[in-house]
Amino acid sequence: MNYKIIHELPGRIRLCCGRYALSPEKAAALEQFLLALDGIKTARVSSITGSVLLVVNPGLKNAVLERVDNLDINTLPDSPLFHNLEGDFQNKLFNLVSVHLVTRYLLPAPARMLYTCVRALRFVGKGIAALFSGRLSVEVLDAAAVTVSIAQDSLGKGGGGAGSMIMFMLTLSEILEEYTHKKSKDALAASFSLNIDSVWKKTENGEISVPLSKIVPGDIIVVRSGVMIPLDGEVFQGEGLVCQASLTGEPLPVLKRKGNAVFAGTVLEEGELTVKVNSRPDETRIEKIISIIDESEGLKAKIQNRAEKLADSIVPFSFAGAAFMMALTGNVTKAISFLMVDYSCAIKLSIPIAVLASMQEAARRRIFVKGGKFLEAISKADTIIFDKTGTLTEAKPLIAKVIPTAGESREKVLSMAACLEEHFPHSVANAVVRQAETENLKHREEHSKLEYVVAHGVAAYYADSRVVLGSYHFVFEDEKTSLSPEEKALIEKETEGYSAIFLAREGRLLGIICFTDPPRKDAPLLIAELRDLGFSKIVMITGDNAAAARRIAEELGIDEYHAEVLPQTKSALVKQYRAEGHTVIMVGDGINDAPALAAADVGIAMTNGCDLAREVADLVLLSDDLQSLCRIIEIGKGLLARISDNYRKIMIINTSLLALSLGGLISPGTSALLHNLSTFILSASSNRPYLPDDE
């Protein structure tokens, strides 16, 4: 297993595998594997940071690390925790079918009738409860249909066949609905926590490990390289580069030093920080984001399922039809036909199957959908909002331009910068070295006395002259490089909308290297396809600066953009579009996107997004292909069309059966049989694919 030791004390080791190196399933499996090893007292694995905290018995550290070295994480089976839902669904389905077949064909008639009556108590109880609450709902119709069918069976053949079949179909629809609901609920109920249970608190007697819950404002904690910052606070001592992309959308790490604010959920990539805490664990910015999410999810839960509402609306007509026929003809059998041919039964069975089929097809195309209602909403959407960093862009810095000064050539500036940066692994250094290699520029080690200043830059000597490369602060403030008015104007002009580093020698500026976070290669095609799918408004919102946002928006042909926005502002913008009458899809990948994902009609998270965004989102794109977003929209539209088609077929078939039964052409028993048969055929048809295999 690939890792590095980022912190070590006697009996305690923290390893780092890299952010996003472990899926939640693999993290759980790795934790179970480590806990089973001899010599390990405690193991905690975080899929968010990719960190592994081990507490080992004295003298067994090397043996434990040897086992970890030889471990292939891909050979570990996913934790069974993540498969209980599928297994539970299959078991319930198997038990339902088995019991139905056994009771129908093996039990004697009296026992079968007794068993059917006992089972009917549950449906009758629900119907009575609905009546007492003042609702004439599907539960009432189900209870009436079950009761009348059992009464008919007892007066006829006495086998309980019709009543048993109706209850079988109703229970099957309940299992399917429960499965769909739990798939959504389980995903959203997963922990939103940062998976940090203890921190290092600085005291007069040194550092001590303290439970996170015991930290109060004013305490001073130590955060080391590769570790997630657990609480909001202010840097008390030290310097470091903090990755805030998940919170602010900034693609590049940010320098933090004494007096700067840091936030829970961000990651210290380089350096070491001593942080003075200014919030409790339940008062951090990330916890405030979660409270917004909880509020939005609560509102979403109040939306009724479309099929249930339609089924409920038909119930009064079924009872009215039965009463009318009884009053008109005095024929109980014809009156019962209105209850035996149950519109709601077909609706409640075929619609969940259509939803389940759409979710399965989405999963086959590596799209995780947390509930059918989101597919229905996505089919009606006319506005789509994208976060910029990591969604429409790569979140991987590239060199946009190299501007030489002081008479130097562009090639010399780039090769000199690559010569210095090739010794360091951070993303900006990699971009410089990669660009030099692409241009086939040689950058032999001509320097000496190489010195790296964490979170600032690098300094070296070329032929006894000091060369520095790094941030504006490092080059011009710390190293006192001179800056003429013309050079200052050049910097302001050339760096607008870009991040930049500066190269200087002996106090003179030699060149400027600007970085950009370019659009993904498939982003233009995505925007074009979305317009073809009927989206009238395509919007981008980002925490990045206005110039960078404008450049990306113009390049991709996006209708509107909003820059330098906070998480709460993103959420407010989504709510504003909804208030204007738009049905809104929000696509994002960071902690900062979570409130907006929750506030939208449909929130969609990217596969490389943070754990919080994936938990909050209604859909998760599990592949890195942006076109899968268009595929899920097509599936959503197909689902809505299939539901509408099912409604029409149900109304036509069941109304025809009622007419035939009332005309005396078929008996109520035959109409019930044909009704059940048509329901199963329609349900089976609902399970067909939505998109061609070559999509």
| β-strand pairing of 367-369 with 198-203 | unpaired
- The pLDDT-based confidence of 341 (bands split at 50, 70, 90) is low
Q: Which letter, b or e, does each residue of 338-347 get, where b requires 16 or more Cβ atoms within 10 Å of its Cβ?
A: bbbbbbbbbb
Q: Which two tokens stand for residue 138?
A: 């599907």
Residue reference for tokens 């299939």? 642
Least confident of 346-360, 490-504, 550-564: 346-360
Q: Identify the bridge partners of residue 220 per DSSP, sorted by sequence position.
A: 276
Tell me if 127 sits within 8 A of 143, measured CB to CB.
yes
pLDDT tens digits, 54-106:
888 888 888 888 888 888 877 776 544 444 556 677 778 888 889 888 888 88
Instruction: Reply yes or no on whether the pLDDT at 255 is more than 80.
Output: yes
Tell me if 684 sits within 8 A of 354, measured CB to CB.
no
CA 604 to chain centre: 6
Looking at residue 632, its pLDDT comes to: 93
3-class DSSP state for residue 1?
coil
Instruction: Reply yes or no on whether the pLDDT at 221 is more than 90.
Output: yes
Domains defined for the chain, CATH in brackets: 1-82 (3.30.1360), 86-188+302-355+638-685 (no CATH), 195-229+231-280 (2.70.150.10), 367-394+519-622 (3.40.50.1000), 398-516 (3.40.1110.10)
pLDDT tens digits, 542-573:
876 677 788 889 889 999 999 878 767 889 99
Q: What is the distance in angstroms between the CA of the first residue and the CA of the last residue of the chain?
A: 36
* Residue 541 or residue 369, greater confidence: 541
Instruction: Reply yes or no on whether the pLDDT at 188 is more than 60.
Output: no
Q: Identify the bridge partners of residue 271 per DSSP, sorted by sequence position.
A: 240
Looking at residue 136, its pLDDT comes to: 77
Instruction: Reply yes or no on whether the pLDDT at 269 is more than 60.
Output: yes
Sequence letter at residue 315: V
* Residue 180 or residue 42, greater confidence: 42
Sequence letter at residue 14: R
Instruction: Reply yes or no on whether the pLDDT at 449 is more than 80.
Output: no
Sequence letter at residue 551: R
Q: Which two tokens stand for residue 378?
A: 């996505």
H or E element at residue 198: strand 198-203
- Which are the contacts of 320, defined by CB distance < 8 A and separation ≥ 6? none
Instruction: Reply yes or no on whether the pLDDT at 251 is more than 50.
Output: yes
Looking at residue 446, its pLDDT comes to: 62
* Residue 179 or residue 215, greater confidence: 215
- Give the residue-averaged pLDDT of 471-496: 89
- The pLDDT-based confidence of 342 (bands split at 50, 70, 90) is low
Q: Which letter, b or e, does each residue of 190-229 get, where b requires 16 or more Cβ atoms within 10 Å of its Cβ?
A: eebbbbbebbbbbeeeeeeeeebeebeeebbbbbbbbbbb
Least confident of 392-401, 522-531, 634-643: 392-401
* Residue 458 or residue 356, greater confidence: 458
Instruction: Reply yes or no on whether the pLDDT at 140 is more than 90.
Output: no
Instruction: Reply yes or no on whether the pLDDT at 292 is more than 70.
Output: no
- The pLDDT-based confidence of 502 (bands split at 50, 70, 90) is very high
| β-strand pairing of 367-369 with 261-262 | unpaired
CA 115 to chain centre: 45
- The pLDDT-based confidence of 409 (bands split at 50, 70, 90) is very high
- Give the residue-averaged pLDDT of 209-213: 81
- CA–CA dist 565, 563 (Å, integer): 5
3-class DSSP state for residue 580?
coil
Instruction: Reply yes or no on whether the pLDDT at 538 is more than 90.
Output: yes
3-class DSSP state for residue 622?
coil
CA 112 to chain centre: 48
